[in-house]
Amino acid sequence: MVSLPLAQVPRPSVRRADVSDAQWTDWRWQLAHMLTTADELAGAVALSPAEHAGFAASKELFRVGITPYYAALMDAEHASCPIRMQAIPRAVEADVRDEELRDPLGEDSHNPAPSIVHKYPDRVLFLVVDRCGIYCRHCNRRRLVGGDDPPTTADLEAGLAYIARTPRVRDVLLSGGDPLLLSTRRLGYLLGRLRAIPHVETIRIGTRLPVVCPMRIDAELVAMLRQHHPLFINTHFNHARELTPEARAGCERLVDAGIPVGNQTVLLRGINSSVQALRALMRGLLRSRVKPYYLFQGDTVIGTDHLRTPVEEAMRLYEGLRGWMNGMAVPMLVLDAPGGFGKVPIVPSYIESLTETEVIVRTYRGARIAYPQPRERDCTVPYDRIYFAGAPPDDDTEGTVSNLSSSPPATP
C-alpha cells in the first residue's frame, strides 16, 4: 500500500451530511475543524473568482477561519450571500486607503496594563484571549487576533491587578478574541477573580460564538456563568440568516439562566445595508429574547473601505427603523470616533426648531408637531444633597498614558 505525503492526505469531509450528530454538536469538534483554505471551503460553496482571488491574497491580508456550522449557512450558489461576504476574503481588502487605521479605536493608546484597555472612565476592556470562532472580514481588531500572541498568565494577572487597584472601574468587558473559547474552568476562574473585587459592579462578555458556534452554549457553560451575576452577554448577529434554531436556542439558554443578552450589529454595505434586512434582523433578535443594543457605523480599519456604508445612508436606514417597529427592537446607531475618542450617537435629528416656548418635532411619518415647553427652567434636584451626602465625586479619568500619573494611588 502506497502512503501519501501528509500534505496530500485528503481531509475528511466536514459537511453536515457527512458528520455524525455527536461530532456536529460538539463545540470542540467545530473549532478543531475550522475551514481555512479555498480547497476546504470548496466542499461547501462554489467559490466565485473574487473569492478565489481573496483566498490567494489572504496570507497578506488577514487570516481565514470558519466553523463548519457557519459554513453550512452559506448560500452555495450566490456570492452575495451575507454569510459568505462576512467570512470569505476578497482581494479588495488589500486596497488600503490612507485614512484607514491599524488601530481604529485607539486601544493601544489606552493600555495602562497588559490586556487592559481603559478608554472610558468607569469601565475597562479586558482582552483575555486572542482567538476567534470566525475571523470576520470587517474585524476591527485584526492586528491582535489569530492565536499568534495569546495573553500570558502574567498578562492576565497584571490586568486583574490593575482592575483591583483602580476603584473607578465599575464595569469590566471581557473580550479578545472570543472569551467563550476559553475552557469553562478557565473562564470561571477569571470571572470569580473579578467578582471578588468589591468595586466591580457588572461584568460583560463580548462573544460571537452564539452566531458561529452555538453548540458552545452548553449546560456546563451556562451553569458556570449563572454563578457570577450581574453578568451580561453581548453577541454579534449581522443578518437574519444567522438566526438559526440552534443560534436562537443558545441565546435563550443564556436568558433562561438570568443572563441578559444584547446584540451589536455592524452596518455592512451590501450585507445588511437595507431597511428590509435590518428590520428582519432586529425583529428576529427580539423574538429570540436578544435586545438589539448597538448598530455600529463601520470602523475605519485597514482593508474594509468596501464594506463601510456612508454615514448619511446609515441615518436614512435608521429612520426606517425608529417608529416603524417596536422601540425595543431599535438599536442605538453609533460611530466609534477614530483614534479612541469613544462612541458618538449619529441618530438623525427629529427636532425642526427649538425655542424657550416651543419645540417643533418631525414624527417618523414626516408630520411636524408642536410641543410646548414648560414655564419653569430650574432642573435642580434638591434631594441630591441628602441622598448623596458624603459620596465622593466620580473619578472621570481614563487609562491613557497621559492620565496615569494622575491616577489615585494603589490601595493596599
CB 232 within 8 A of CB 226: no
CA distance 136 to 151: 21
Q: Where residue 335 falls among pLDDT bands split at 50, 70, 90?
A: very high
Q: Give yes or no: residues 164 and 304 share one domain.
A: yes
CA distance 196 to 227: 12
Q: Is residue 15 part of a domain?
A: yes
Residue linked to cell 491616577: 407
Q: Give yes or no: residues 288 and 337 share one domain.
A: yes
Q: Where residue 333 falls among pLDDT bands split at 50, 70, 90?
A: very high
pTM for the model stands at: 0.90
- Mean pLDDT value of segment 156-184: 97
Q: Is residue 406 part of a domain?
A: no
Q: Is residue 6 part of a domain?
A: no
Higher-pLDDT residue of 97 and 113 is 113
Q: Give yes or no: residues 178 and 325 share one domain.
A: yes
Using the predicted structure, report yes or no on whether residue 302 has a pLDDT greater than 60: yes
Final residue before a domain boundary, out of 345, 379, 403 = 345
Q: Give yes or no: residues 244 and 131 share one domain.
A: yes
CA-nearest of 192, 278, 181 to 228 is 192
Which pLDDT score, from 0 to 100, does residue 408 have? 45
Q: Is residue 412 part of a domain?
A: no
- Mean pLDDT value of segment 296-311: 91
Residues in the chain: 412
Q: Give yes or no: residues 23 and 139 share one domain.
A: no
Mean pLDDT of the chain: 91
Percent of the chain with pLDDT strictly greater than 70: 94
CA distance 247 to 361: 40
C-alpha cell at 27: 463545540
Q: Where residue 142 falls among pLDDT bands split at 50, 70, 90?
A: confident
Q: Give yes or no: residues 245 and 275 share one domain.
A: yes
Using the predicted structure, report yes or no on whether residue 296 has a pLDDT greater than 50: yes
Q: Give yes or no: residues 371 and 285 share one domain.
A: no
Q: Is residue 38 part of a domain?
A: yes
Which pLDDT score, from 0 to 100, does residue 178 have? 96
Q: Where residue 1 falls among pLDDT bands split at 50, 70, 90?
A: very low
Which pLDDT score, from 0 to 100, does residue 402 have? 57
Model pLDDT for residues 236-293, shown as the tens digit of each residue: 999 999 999 999 999 999 999 999 999 999 999 999 999 999 999 999 999 999 999 9
CB 5 within 8 A of CB 34: no
Enclosing domain of residue 359: 350-391
Q: Is residue 55 part of a domain?
A: yes
Q: Is residue 188 part of a domain?
A: yes
C-alpha cell at 302: 485597514
Q: Where residue 9 falls among pLDDT bands split at 50, 70, 90?
A: low
Q: Give yes or no: residues 226 and 340 share one domain.
A: yes
Q: Give yes or no: residues 46 and 128 share one domain.
A: no
Higher-pLDDT residue of 407 and 339 is 339
Model pLDDT for residues 114-136, shown as the tens digit of each residue: 999 999 999 999 999 999 999 99
Q: Give yes or no: residues 167 and 309 share one domain.
A: yes
Q: How many domains does the chain have?
A: 3
Which pLDDT score, from 0 to 100, does residue 5 have? 52
- Mean pLDDT value of segment 20-28: 96
CA-nearest of 195, 115, 108 to 143 is 108
Q: Is residue 398 part of a domain?
A: no
Q: For 44-48, 63-67, 156-160, which range has the lowest pLDDT when averaged over its residues?
A: 44-48
Backbone angles phi, psi at 383, to 5 degrees: -70, -15
- Rounded to 10 deg, the angle between the 153-164 and 184-195 helix axes is 20
Q: Give yes or no: residues 154 and 137 share one domain.
A: yes
- Mean pLDDT value of segment 366-384: 94
- Mean pLDDT value of segment 215-229: 98
Using the predicted structure, report yes or no on whether residue 412 has a pLDDT greater than 90: no
Q: Give yes or no: residues 292 and 364 share one domain.
A: no
Q: For 87-101, 157-171, 362-376, which range has the lowest pLDDT when averaged over its residues?
A: 87-101
CATH code assigned at 311: 3.20.20.70
Model pLDDT for residues 179-188, shown as the tens digit of each residue: 999 999 999 9
